[in-house]
Structure 1
């Protein structure tokens, strides 16, 4: 067996272990849900960004949307950036610069999300890193 084959074999074994662990964790979660007679609410959060400079790191959130597992929109809002907009990146964000002029601030939008009753008992995790 050559060196490449050995690497592939060890990677496959590593991946198999990872898949088995994930499967076991999923089964435990399903058992816990079945035993508690509760359903899991699956949500997805999408954050759109605009360019606030000329580097790929110069960005700010311009929109946020939350949908459930039935594709029902639970929350949708534009966000007024706190820095001047260099480009709205319309082909990617779907948002025009002019649409953001009267939008709520990032802090206002986050507070609305936190206060949503439909999210009661749910944990939303999304990391937005803004480089100042």
Structure 2
């Protein structure tokens, strides 16, 4: 058997090399385990951030800083869109005190959908302010985007502004639209569309408009809503019960009310339309007794029946 210079056989030399290989592999595993250990995050100073790539900054908005505001958070706020999409409603806190969020004036949308919601604010006219007069009208689409909102100059003198409920003041009506202008605008928006509202007959009455009954969805008359409370449920009750929001806590807002009515309809749209189809479906009418007798005479005494006809 051939021997190496060290006096060890080749077989022994091979065995030694395999052992060395296993030892090397074991060392590599240990090194890998050490490399995978968690390293505490490095705090980045504002001076260091200036030299970093801005693209890399925009990808990570988390921060390990706790004592002072994060520079990454300040960067994130600048990247936010100028007009971010806001929720229409603010849900109730556990205390139940929080209501709707005070929002900035709405921008009008041109997205006129197949479903629109309408709400009006009214002031009083006539003796003791009992007659309802249109003072404000708002229309929203099914995404709760405002299509139209305007104060309206009533056709008759106002005797009661009802400000505690309507939110209308004399200064609001000074720059309001003419009644005919508002009427034509609303008529164009609701034409050939499904109209949603709460007790909407009152709104249509002050607008001096009409709408096909088959295209009206009134949240005050929807049967499942009426079963929640004896009598006619108010929009305020439905919003708090089903949408978990508080509305009409003080002065009413026609945009807020229109959005609440639309949200209620869109939440129950499939079931609402299914119930309407079932109601429209033809039913088997009971056959009159006289008609049953004539049919019997035709089949059993056909000759006598024909003689009577002659």
Short-chain TM bin: 0.5 to 0.7
State the Cα distance separating 1:43 from its structure 2 match. Answer: 1.3
Tell me which residue corresponds to 1:128: 205
Tell me which residue corresponds to 1:104: 177
- Which consecutive residues of structure 1, in runs of 5 or more, have no partner in the other structure? 1-39
1:89 aligns with 2:159: no
Distance in 2 separating the partners of 1:67 and 1:75: 7
1:49 aligns with 2:122: yes
1:65 aligns with 2:138: yes
Q: Which has the higher contact order (CA 8 A, sep 6+)?
A: 1
Distance in 1 separating the partners of 2:150 and 2:161: 16
- Give the alignment partner of residue 79 of structure 1, picking from 152, 155, 163: 152
Distance in 2 separating the partners of 1:78 and 1:102: 8
Larger radius of gyration: 2
Question: Between Structure 1 and Structure 2, which shows a larger proportion of strand residues?
Answer: 1
State the Cα distance separating 1:74 from its structure 2 match. Answer: 0.8
Relative distance call for 1:96 and 1:55 in structure 2 (3 A) is closer
- Which consecutive residues of structure 2, in runs of 5 or more, have no partner in the other structure? 1-112, 208-310
Distance in 2 separating the partners of 1:87 and 1:120: 32
Relative distance call for 1:94 and 1:55 in structure 2 (3 A) is closer
- 1:73-101, CA deviations, whole angstroms, 9 ceiling, x for partnerless residues? 11101110122211211121111122112
- 1:35-69, CA deviations, whole angstroms, 9 ceiling, x for partnerless residues? xxxxx73211001100113153x121001001122
Distance in 2 separating the partners of 1:48 and 1:113: 14
Across the two proteins, how many residue pairs are aligned to each other? 88
Contact 1:49 1:62 in 2 (8 A): yes
Distance in 2 separating the partners of 1:70 and 1:43: 9
Distance in 1 separating the partners of 2:179 and 2:194: 19
Question: Between Structure 1 and Structure 2, which shows a larger proportion of helix residues?
Answer: 2
TM-score in terms of structure 1 length: 0.55
Q: CA RMSD in A?
A: 2.5
Contact 1:45 1:66 in 2 (8 A): yes
Contact 2:139 2:186 in 1 (8 A): no
